[in-house]
Structure 1
Amino acid sequence: MCTTIKNPVEERELLPTNVTPVHYDILLAPDLDALTYTGSVKIRVRINESTDKIVLHSNELEISSASLSGPAAAQLGSDSLAAASITLEKSDETVHVAFAQALPAATDAELTISFKGILNDLMVGFYRSTYTDAEGNTKNMATTQFEPTDARRAFPCWDEPMQKATFNVTLRVKEDLTALSNMDVRETKQVGNGLKEVAFNTTPIMSTYLLAFIVGELEYIEATTSGKHNGRPIPCRLYTAPGKSEKGRFALNVAVQVLEYFADVFGIAYPLPKMDQIAINDFEAGAMENWGLITYREVALLVDEATTSSRAKQQVAYVVSHELAHQWFGNLVTMEWWSELWLNEGFATWVGTLAVDHVFPEYHIWTQFLVDDLQRALNLDSLHSSHPIQVPVKRSSDISQIFDAISYSKGGSAIRMLSSYIGLDLFLKGIRIYLQRHKYANASTSDLWTALSEASGVDVTEFMALWTRTIGYPIVTVTEAESGDKITVRQNRYLSSGEVTEADDKTLWCVPLGIVTSETADSPSADVLTQREATVDVAVSSSKWYKLNKDTVGIYRVKYPASAVANLAKAIEAGELSTNDRIGIIADAAALASSGHSSTSDFLTFLRAYSNETEFIVWQEISMRLDALHSAWSLEDAAGQAQLHALACSLFSPLIKRLGWDAASADEDSLVSRLRALAIRYAGTCGDKEVVAEANRRFGEFFAGNKSVLTTDTLRSVFSAVVRQGGRDEFEKVKSYYLDETNPIDQRLSALSALGFAADPALIDELFEFAMTEHVRNQDLHQAIVSINLYPAHRQRLWQWYQDSFDQLVARYRASMNYMGILVRLCVSEFVGSDKADEIEQYFAAHDTSKFQRVIDQSLEKIRASTAWFEKDREDVRAWFASSGL
């Protein structure tokens, strides 16, 4: 049987429950010139136990007064009780409001607190974002980002997901400004001195991290749902800074369709009276699902139909769908604590993909999911330093470290595997039971499994518990019986290092085998491996090939015997396997080579089966595997590096010859366009002379004014190739393109990331300086350096910059330290060498990295695994190249 485990016990650091909130009345008066605000909050609370002190969250707020009124005060013979003391505890971000007398139990009260705050530049709490108007003036808007624990930066509150309440928000702002919050406007009144108060209707009961309010000069476009699935039309608005709203038309149309789709799929009408979306210039997260007022980075929401790349446009559709999914899964039903974050993010990842596939089937988004999510999750979860999908979270400082590929991508992949196992219709039936049963409340993973088991008749808890509660996943090793009609399958823990100890290998997962053969290609078996090893009937001798994990649905790797690998290679060459299966096979082959389960030369030989491959998504996976090989072989000598570049050219240059540089028609498939761009980037940066020459020619024409020579997809690839092979002139032109704010934001960011391809060390040093100026928003710093580590000669320079800038970076991102983790991954994880890993480890040991230590551990483990791979297979790869003719 699958291994059974008990629920993990968590010692959570939570507020006392002797007093709990019921309703908040919030009044805020932001000053966009002084970048400060004043506020008051009246919180209706329930006194559950007699106490003389109320403890709630507050962070970096200046509290001037606190008092208590209502029935609790009346029982003590007073209309209002002033606080005897107000104590701020900075270390745990709380405020302790003490009273001279104990408050009576089982009574209600109103706690009123007055406070002041700063509209910070940290992209958390109630903060400021800047933009440039049509006249070139810098303007401010005030906006919010509260997830996971920053509502306490905006107003004193019980800032925990279980402490749900209702909210009334009132914003006192200048008359010419727009004010937004989660709900629609109840009343607007003039209050003198050129100010107005905008009061919003009462929210449903909800968690603090989902509250939002925004003030600024805004414009909007609007559409309305049909009302078919909601019972009433829902007005949907998309807000931007002045002059940009029409670029939101695509996202607005997606939102209308997806809002109706989810109301139908979930069987529950969207519960709020409106749905607003807004583009924010300074925004650390990609987007945030605030109930009824979703905030986005501009690049995640705005589309210029003529100039936005197909990749960026698809991403907008996905992000909008993901955030709308949260309106039910996360907002209507909320995880009970952050250890269940995956209930929000894993499900939204899966169902957001489901919605995009519904609206845009031409994107083949589920196939892209294999590369963008499943393989991403498998790569991270192959490390000792990974974490379970359901990860114990003790304190607030730990929360940001789990917003990663495990919670999102492995969580989404687990949902995909489960929905395939029990069937989509039964799965969605279970989801409807879960949402209906727990709406306006909190729930746990076990609640979800209960609903799905009820709908499907399958013991979902037994099947799924290990996938969410344990680190890692299995490798399934196949051996063939001599009789030719059976195979033996054995599961063991897979680690990228290949160093699996007995202690590592205790888990027995429930592994859906999904076996198909050339004779049963569309009918996968229902076998589930629950033991360490089992024998399964498979017609090996009478089939041309067999494959486990049909369509790459399961979260595991497969190792086949050599004869089966050869047969699969023939099937790939003959076009007999699905795109999903071709992706899964090459991904497994590469992963098994890096971990030592097979040789790298076997992987390189297997690549030849893909010489006639036509699908972009398969080539995307191949390119990522080659990137990993290039990175791990960065200590190879010049001749070896040249051979790797020649290999890349041999694979990608023929694609350019086949596809050409220009689209064959105006309505070319977006995936074909992206394949062309991928091939140009790869061949160009690896030095294909013909590709580089054509890239330079088109680059010159582009900057001479002929914009048609580069498509929305090839611009990034050409910029990257030309900067890598060029010098200062090319660097400065790409930089100027980035600085031109009339260019679409996704293309500007592509230009920024292309600057990191520069080969000249002096240009890289200039890029470091430029990245820290006002020309690069804090949220985009990683875009400036993301490409530098692709060039081994500059990795030490990048690492030195990180060390030199460490204090400055910590000061800049002190409120969102997960960004420090992003920078760690970019600056060190591509190194090779045990000595380098030791050096990096010693450096971080001397600094406070508690809020991003998990990423450091993962990066160090990756360096050591890459080092082991290189040392193990260096001679093997040299021998392969010697015999290959490259």
Structure 2
Amino acid sequence: MGFPVVTVTKDGSIVTLEQQRFLANGSSDAVSKWDVPITFTTPTNGVQNAGIWTASQPSIALDVGADPWVKVNAAQTGFYLVNYPSELWTALKAPVAALALDTVDRVSLLHSIFVLARAGLVLTTDALQFSQAYANEPEYLVWKELSENLAVYLRLFKHESWFPSFQAYIQQLYAAVMSQLTWDARPTDQDLTSNFRRDVIAMLAAANDPAVVAEASARFHAAVAAPASLSADLRSIVYSIHVRKTSEPDAAFAHLLNVYETSDFIEEKLHVLGALGRFPSVQLKTRALEWAVAGGVRSQDIHSVFGSVAADGSTVAWEYVQAKWDALSAQYSQIVVGRILCVSIANFQTEQAAAAVEAFLVGRPQGAFARPLASVLENIRTGAAMYARDVTPLAAWIQTL
């Protein structure tokens, strides 16, 4: 089971490939081998097919010419990751920035470098430096990949003294694409443009971009007076941004409850649930949970409220789950309780937090959600390892920006 990571070394025109099983925790498995289809592309010769590299061969050498860069697994024809030495990752920034590689290859490079960074196989600073090549990227799928990866670091390091500088880096990286998308739909928009716009706004809000925060709040207030003024595709993100920053949280909370209770549309109700727990106030977070559990929310949607309460890493939802475990277990199925639990702890990032969850569950039934719980706990521990490994070098890297 699993898949390989192919490691590239380059000496002149000769590229040597070696493989090992990829493990997300960065540990080594030198035993597992695969038959790997090898393709590569260079600026001079384009895409080349080197055939199948069989599992019996410990390595394979390719003559790729004297070009400054080579991209292995062209067009992602094989199911494997590729890791390059730092100088080749740096060289690949040029064809990415110039759009000389197609969309699939630009996405795959981005995906690979951040997956490898989370596993400790690439320096996280190298991954972040590589992301600079995407500042003028036109394709939504590439930005989606970038946003999902950068969001990990926004969550992980939000309490560091240098975090505002990291947010400023995100603001700068996303400035050009935000200016192209704007807030309002246009006749020339494509099918995915609304998702594109929403994702970019969300990233800039997470980076505390003042213009985005101000615009979201202005649109929220306009919607209080004229609900139709806020387009459906922006409601979830506008709600979520405004409640995190508003100076009138009680009024905003009351408005969202009114929207939920008067709307006939499930999608609109879900927009509210996704925002209702994002107020910084512990009192309002607790109030959201109590309202939801008291019958305000359908059982199939109840985890959305717990997830919104816990989205900022707060322990409020987890503390509520512990205190009300028996009542929740009596009210909801074990599957629903499992969803509530998993979203309540998903943004924790310490070994101590993972161990506390495991200790609490000793003697409590968890068979219906054992697998998703194990995945969440693994992610928490991966985040803890990332934090310990990356916090010091990232602090130094931020100072160079």
Task: Note whether the superposition's TM-score is higher than 0.5.
Answer: yes
Would the alpha carbon gap of residues 748 and 850 (structure 1) be closer, same or farther in structure 2, given more than 3 Å must change?
A: closer
Indicate the residue corresponding to 2:327 in structure 1.
808
Indicate the residue corresponding to 1:490 in structure 2.
18
Give the Cα separation in 1 of the matches to 2:56 and 2:277. 49
Indicate the residue corresponding to 1:877 in structure 2.
394
* Residues 1:697 and 2:218 are matched in the alignment: yes
SS at match of 2:20: strand
The answer to which of 571-580 and 689-698 deviates more is 689-698
Indicate the residue corresponding to 2:369 in structure 1.
852
Structure 1 residue 534: Cα displacement: 2.1
Structure 1 residue 619: Cα displacement: 1.1
Would the alpha carbon gap of residues 810 and 575 (structure 1) be closer, same or farther in structure 2, given more than 3 Å must change?
A: same
Equivalent residue for 1:663, pick from 185, 188, 211: 185
Equivalent residue for 1:785, pick from 283, 306, 326: 306
Letter in 2 for 1:659: L
* Residues 1:835 and 2:360 are matched in the alignment: no
SS at match of 1:490: strand
Higher relative CO (CA 8 A, sep ≥ 6), structure 1 or 2?
Answer: 2
SS at match of 1:770: helix
Would the alpha carbon gap of residues 552 and 712 (structure 1) be closer, same or farther in structure 2, given more than 3 Å must change?
A: farther
Alignment root-mean-square deviation, CA: 2.2
CA deviations 1:328-378 (Å, max 9, x no partner) are: xxxxxxxxxxxxxxxxxxxxxxxxxxxxxxxxxxxxxxxxxxxxxxxxxxx
Indicate the residue corresponding to 2:237 in structure 1.
717
Structure 2, unaligned stretches of length 5 or more?
A: none
1:299-698 to 2 correspondence within 5 Å? 470=1, 472-480=2-10, 482-484=11-13, 486-500=14-28, 504-522=29-47, 524-531=49-56, 533-541=58-66, 543-634=67-158, 636-637=159-160, 639-665=161-187, 667-698=188-219
Structure 1 residue 768: Cα displacement: 0.8
SS at match of 1:668: coil
Would the alpha carbon gap of residues 612 and 840 (structure 1) be closer, same or farther in structure 2, given more than 3 Å must change?
A: same
Structure 1 residue 608: Cα displacement: 0.5
Would the alpha carbon gap of residues 729 and 523 (structure 1) be closer, same or farther in structure 2, given more than 3 Å must change?
A: farther
Asked if the contact 2:6/2:19 (under 8 Å) is kept, the reply is: yes
CA deviations 1:78-114 (Å, max 9, x no partner) are: xxxxxxxxxxxxxxxxxxxxxxxxxxxxxxxxxxxxx
Give the Cα separation in 1 of the matches to 2:46 and 2:268. 42
Would the alpha carbon gap of residues 544 and 834 (structure 1) be closer, same or farther in structure 2, given more than 3 Å must change?
A: same
Would the alpha carbon gap of residues 632 and 694 (structure 1) be closer, same or farther in structure 2, given more than 3 Å must change?
A: closer
Would the alpha carbon gap of residues 522 and 540 (structure 1) be closer, same or farther in structure 2, given more than 3 Å must change?
A: closer
1:114-133 to 2 correspondence within 5 Å? none
Asked if the contact 2:144/2:199 (under 8 Å) is kept, the reply is: yes
Asked if the contact 1:590/1:600 (under 8 Å) is kept, the reply is: yes
CA deviations 1:470-513 (Å, max 9, x no partner) are: 2x322111112x341x322222122222133xxx5432123333
Give the Cα separation in 1 of the matches to 2:65 and 2:289. 58
Asked if the contact 2:53/2:60 (under 8 Å) is kept, the reply is: no
Equivalent residue for 1:741, pick from 263, 272, 278: 263
Structure 1 residue 778: Cα displacement: 0.5
Asked if the contact 2:6/2:82 (under 8 Å) is kept, the reply is: yes
Asked if the contact 1:680/1:714 (under 8 Å) is kept, the reply is: no
Letter in 2 for 1:738: Y
Kindly, what percent of the aligned residue pairs are identical?
Answer: 28
Indicate the residue corresponding to 1:863 in structure 2.
380
Asked if the contact 1:583/1:618 (under 8 Å) is kept, the reply is: yes
Would the alpha carbon gap of residues 813 and 507 (structure 1) be closer, same or farther in structure 2, given more than 3 Å must change?
A: farther
Would the alpha carbon gap of residues 752 and 479 (structure 1) be closer, same or farther in structure 2, given more than 3 Å must change?
A: same
Give the Cα separation in 1 of the matches to 2:80 and 2:335. 28
CA deviations 1:560-612 (Å, max 9, x no partner) are: 12232122110001111111211111111111111111111111111110111
Would the alpha carbon gap of residues 770 and 533 (structure 1) be closer, same or farther in structure 2, given more than 3 Å must change?
A: farther
CA deviations 1:395-439 (Å, max 9, x no partner) are: xxxxxxxxxxxxxxxxxxxxxxxxxxxxxxxxxxxxxxxxxxxxx
Letter in 1 for 2:258: S
Equivalent residue for 1:822, pick from 320, 330, 339: 339
TM-score where L is the length of structure 2: 0.92
Structure 1 residue 524: Cα displacement: 4.6
Asked if the contact 1:508/1:532 (under 8 Å) is kept, the reply is: no
Structure 1, unaligned stretches of length 5 or more?
A: 1-469
Structure 1 residue 852: Cα displacement: 2.2
Asked if the contact 2:243/2:252 (under 8 Å) is kept, the reply is: yes
SS at match of 1:514: strand
Give the Cα separation in 2 of the matches to 1:586 and 1:835. 31
Asked if the contact 1:491/1:532 (under 8 Å) is kept, the reply is: no
Would the alpha carbon gap of residues 525 and 770 (structure 1) be closer, same or farther in structure 2, given more than 3 Å must change?
A: farther
Indicate the residue corresponding to 2:297 in structure 1.
776
Structure in which a larger fraction of residues adopt strand: 1
Letter in 2 for 1:546: V
Asked if the contact 1:723/1:758 (under 8 Å) is kept, the reply is: yes
Asked if the contact 2:8/2:16 (under 8 Å) is kept, the reply is: yes
1:31-50 to 2 correspondence within 5 Å? none
Give the Cα separation in 1 of the matches to 2:25 and 2:211. 39
Equivalent residue for 1:798, pick from 313, 317, 339: 317
Give the Cα separation in 2 of the matches to 1:473 and 1:516. 22
CA deviations 1:156-182 (Å, max 9, x no partner) are: xxxxxxxxxxxxxxxxxxxxxxxxxxx
Structure 1 residue 745: Cα displacement: 2.0
SS at match of 2:17: strand
Would the alpha carbon gap of residues 788 and 528 (structure 1) be closer, same or farther in structure 2, given more than 3 Å must change?
A: farther
